[in-house]
Amino acid sequence: MLAVPVFDMQGNAKGEIEIDPEVLGGRVRARLIKQALVAHQDHQRQQSARTKGRGDVVGSTRKLYRQKGTGNARVGNIRTGIRRGGGRTFAKRGPRSTKSIPIKMRRLARNSAILAKIQSGDAMIVEGLNLSEIKTKVLATMISALGATRGCTLALHQPDQKIYLSGRNISAASIRVVDELNVYEILRGAKLIFTKPAFERMVADPIAFRSMAQDA
């Protein structure tokens, strides 16, 4: 069993919650995590680059001069990529085929990333996270008290506008609903912070919690 420490908003230890590694797949699958991370980053690219090849530029297709006997180097038509005004060699042709992996592999990679955070001691649970007003200072003080100033991902049980608006100006914090967690969001911050209801939801059904975006 692995123990995940529990803290309050002031950074005071409140105990631990145990979790069976088998709930998250039993072991860390590093190669699968990398595969899911590369696929996620590939999907973030616009992939709309397009340049003109030699077949796309205006110009004659006639060979400029005969192959032999002129003393010049061999050359084709004026649209070749080595001449000014010619097409680009190995031109980019718009949308590329994107990398993708099956849904079950994405979920397993996500769970492996969470397990890696727990095993390395970089996962924690915050108890009683509730803001009565939109206040960046309150959330920033909590993150500092938890030792997560180098970057963290805060996983909530459900959307909370006060927490979102309080944390939007904190560059070190990424706030997500637990359903939206993916390998990139888990690994981008040094610490992974769950609210207690979010952690309980994950443990109760580690396969089902997911976002529509992950399964798209």
Short-list 23, 26, 7, 24, CA closest to 15: 7
- Residue 171 φ then ψ, to 5°: -65, -25
Q: Is the pLDDT of residue 216 over 70?
A: no
Lowest mean pLDDT among 61-65, 92-96, 131-135, 180-184: 92-96
- Name the band, by pLDDT with cuts 50, 70 and 90, for residue 115: very high
**How far apart, in whole angstroms, are the C-alpha atoms of residue 178 and residue 155?**
5
CA 100, 101, 104, 105 torsion: positive or negative?
Answer: negative
Query: Over the stretch 117-163, which tens digit does the pLDDT of each residue have?
Result: 999 999 999 998 888 899 999 999 999 999 988 899 999 988 989 99
Q: Mind listing the domains of the chain with CATH numbers?
A: 2-46+99-215 (3.40.1370.10), 49-94 (no CATH)
pTM score, two decimals?
A: 0.76
Q: Is the pLDDT of residue 42 over 90?
A: no
* Region 180-184 average pLDDT: 90
Single-letter amino acid, residue 4: V
* Region 78-102 average pLDDT: 85
Give the angle subtended at the CA of 155 by the CAs of 128 and 207, to the nearest 5°: 120
**How far apart, in whole angstroms, are the C-alpha atoms of residue 167 and residue 158?**
15
**What is the bridge-based pairing of β-strands 152-156 and 191-195?**
parallel
